[in-house]
Amino acid sequence: MSTKNSHNKGLSRKQIIITLWQALKDAGIASIEFEGPEIAVYVNNPKYILENERVVADLAKTIRKRIVVRAKNRKSREETIKFIMEVIPREAGVSPSDIEFDDVLGEVKVLVAHPEKIGVNLRKLQNLILAETGWRIHIIKKPLLTSRILASVIRHYLEKSSERRKALRSIGERVFRDMVVGTRYVRVIGLGSFGEVGRSAILVDTGESKILLDAGASPTGLGPEAFPYFYTSEFRIEDLDAVVITHAHLDHIGMLPLLFKYGYRGPVYMTEPTRDIAILVLQDYIELARREGRDPPYTLKDIETMLNYTITVPYNTVTDVAPDTKLTFSNAGHILGSAVAHLHIGQGLFNILYTGDIKYYRMKGDKGTRLLPTAAYQFHRVEALIIESTYGAVDTQSREEAEKELIEMVNKVHKRGGKLLIPVMAVGRGQEILAVLNRAYKEGRIPPINIYVDGMVYEVTAIYTAYINLLAKPIREAIERGENPFISDITIYVNDVAKREEAINTPEPAIILATSGMMQGGPIIEYFKALAEDPKNALAFVSYQAPGTLGRRLVEGEREIIFEENGHLRPVRVKLEVKRIEGFTGHATRSELLMYLRHLKPKPRTIIFNHGEYNALTSLALTVKRQWERLGFKSPPEILIPENLEAIRLYPRYYKKNLSLTYSG
């Protein structure tokens, strides 16, 4: 693409190895391995690293790669536990039973109740423990609520440690290969979520590498129409270098295990909370299909394989995902762990920013009530932006109005002795609503009323409490003070049929939070069938409802719903109050999307709108077309609303299109 060849290439594999050997020879290098996106240097003398901390950091900067130092020899578990207990202060809350060893990778995972009380710099602590014991320590925050999933993730990696190592090595070999053809072009192909909401999947092709952004399922439809266009000839699993997942909603991750079922054995990049939530959400997807008598598209085994190939990446960490592509995640503000993905292609030749789903709020009064910080909007370079447009057509009510309305609703339903049913996605809205209700209860704005929280929502809430450093400041501070912003004495955890029946049959007024958020299956259906015909009850929608879902049909006024039960048809007459309170949405509203474009730095030359219904996409695109100057663009950006399967070729700034035929590389 560029005529300057050097521009296209970084250090070769050989150059990297030579540089490392020279710089770290005093540490006594035993071997150098490519482990996933990191270069692992095994050393005989880890004390050298402790005494020369800058060396590794500087080295990473010079070769622009992530380096991890591991010790060749390690002390016994007993000695290591003893040392860890000595160096981590007692008030941080660590016990020997919370220390787990991975013999294959030489890593030790330590669950700590109050990591903020460790006091010393974590990297220092890590180097100290490495120097003294040979083990590489990972501090994990112990969640406030017991989480089945977090425990199972740790167990999985301990049990599958050697498969994991094999996977990391094969990924490493591919990531750090010398380039075959180099970056020849940049093409973006929508395999899903272009011209629609759902089944997000975007292929980025550079000639040298192919990267898939998200692998979602559609909220409607159960057959092939629920899948992205994985069966098009553009998409070949064996050519795929990496999958990048922005967040753990089904419309972004639901079909990821399917790739593994069909033989994909490459890396999947996501944040740590996204991985934890994903396991829960995907297991539930299978479970739900089974319960409804359908064949799930993949099995638990495929999810396990996926986990072996999953590489978690923190925000703001540049990671090599292919020889010519670097990935950086930044906070997206949408749900816990959600990320906007920045792809840096061909040594700076081209940069793509893909928002996934974002939340962007700026109002001051607004900030105190939010669970997550707002989306990142400053980047080094951005030539093309792919941005979601869910609420591109109309603005929803403000967050304050939404809260007020919800509180009023609770009081009204309580007064008439009814039950308030709130369908929520297990991830995101569930936690927001819990936090709002909990605060209102503590401030005396709602009466003591039982809040039944159905299984998945509760589990995900536990995961939220394990990542408090990613939550917004007021929430984080509350947790550090020992409060639980999600759970109080009126919260009841529903984890079996008996509790579900209690929630339905109790004569007391109650609030019930259950999945799924668009009422396409899940426990919400059972509650709805039981409660719909009593006008004392109410149903409040707090998130986006996709066309064709039961939620959308109810919002649009359908008042008789026919369910199929064991081969019989059962009509349910909808007499409960149906209300839509969308100000809680985790998506940027229309004005937030425009504000995001205004604040975004630097300004892209191309904007691709996706993840929206037709009117949302066109309305937003038209506004940007008319108001580009007011949005701070120096020249009109190229605006695209492609359909799925359309390929868009993106050109670097100084590329002359008419020279493409004479291009020699």
Q: Which residues bind Zn ion (CB under 5 A)?
A: 249, 251, 357
The distance of closest approach from Cβ of residue 482 to Zn ion in the complex, given in angstroms and rounded to an integer, is: 31
- Give the residue with the Cβ less far from Zn ion, 249 or 603: 249
Nearer to Zn ion (CB atom), residue 41 or residue 248: 248
Cα–Cα distances in Å, from 92 out to 35, 87, 111, 130, 470?
31, 11, 10, 20, 19
SS3 of residue 109 by DSSP: strand
Token duo for residue 663: 């291009």
Residue 319: CB minimum distance to Zn ion, A: 22
Which of residues 111 and 212 has its CB atom nearest to Zn ion in the complex? Answer: 212
Identify which of residues 201 and 420 has a Cβ nearer to Zn ion in the complex.
201
- Kindly report the CA angle at 159 between 157 and 160, in degrees rounded to 5? 65
Instruction: Give the nearest distance from C-beta 135 to Zn ion in angstroms.
Output: 37
Tell me how far, at minimum, the Cβ of 339 lies from Zn ion, in Å.
11
455, 495 Cβ separation under 8 angstroms: yes
Q: How far is the CB of 249 from Zn ion (least distance, A)?
A: 4
Q: Residue 36: left (phi > 0), alpha (psi -120 to 50), or beta?
A: left
- Tracing tokens 């270069």 back to the chain, one arrives at 39
Task: Say if residues 258 and 227 touch (Cβ distance below 8 Å).
Answer: yes
The two three-digit tokens of residue 351, written as one number: 């940069």
- How far, in Å, CA of 238 to CA of 228, rounded? 17
CB of 334 to Zn ion, least distance (A): 6
**210-249 burial: b if 16+ Cβ within 10 Å, else e:** bbbbbbbbbbbeeeeebbbbbeeeebeeeebbbbbbbbbb
Cβ 251 to Zn ion, closest distance in Å? 4
Tell me the closest approach of the beta carbon of residue 618 to Zn ion, in angstroms.
19
Nearer to Zn ion, 311 or 518 (CB): 518
How far apart, in whole angstroms, are the C-alpha atoms of residue 140 and residue 123?
14
Kindly tell me which of 467 and 544 has the beta carbon lying closer to Zn ion. Answer: 544
Q: Which residue has the tokens 């297991």?
A: 283
| Residue 147 vs 338, nearer CB to Zn ion | 338
Name which of 357 and 582 has its Cβ closer to Zn ion.
357
3-state class (DSSP) for residue 164 = helix
SS3 (DSSP) at 643 = coil
- Pick the closer one to Zn ion by CB: 274 or 491: 274
**Which residue number, 249 or 419, has a Cβ lying nearer to Zn ion?**
249
Least distance CB 519 / Zn ion (angstroms): 17
CB 89 within 8 A of CB 119: yes
Which amino acid, 550?
L
Query: ω into residue 516 within 30 of 0, thus cis?
Result: yes
Q: How far apart are CA 178 and CA 40, in angstroms?
A: 18
Please state whether the peptide bond connecting residue 602 to the residue before it is cis, i.e. omega within 30 degrees of 0.
yes
Nearer Cβ to Zn ion, position 357 or 432?
357
CB of 244 to Zn ion, least distance (A): 15
> What is the Cα–Cα distance from 423 to 525, expressed in whole angstroms?
9
CB 246 to Zn ion: min, Å: 8
> Which residue in this structure is represented by tokens 């359909």?
643
Distance CA 494, CA 120 (A): 40
CB of 237 to Zn ion, least distance (A): 23
Q: Smallest gap, in angstroms, from Cβ of residue 388 to Zn ion?
A: 7
Cβ atoms within 10 Å, residue 564: 9
Minimum CB distance to Zn ion smaller for 127 or for 543: 543
The residue (of 268 and 574) whose beta carbon lies closer to Zn ion is 268
Contacts 24+ apart (CB under 8 A), 501-509: 502/452, 503/450, 503/452, 503/527, 504/530, 504/531, 506/450, 507/417, 508/449, 508/450, 509/413, 509/414, 509/417, 509/418, 509/419, 509/420, 509/449, 509/450
Q: Which helix (H) or strand (E) holds 614?
A: helix 614-627
CB closer to Zn ion out of 247 and 605: 247
The dihedral built from the CA positions of residue 621, 626, 629 and 634, taken in this order, carries a sign that is positive
Of the pair 357, 403, the CB lying nearest Zn ion is at: 357
CB of 450 to Zn ion, least distance (A): 29
DSSP letters, 542-581, are -S---TTSHHHHHHTT--EEEEEETTEEEEEE--SEEEE-
Quote the tokens at residue 121. 């710099």
Q: What is the DSSP string of 58-103?
A: HHHHHHTSEEEEEESS---HHHHHHHHHHHS-GGG---GGGEEEET
For the CB of residue 332, give the shortest distance to Zn ion in the complex, in Å: 9
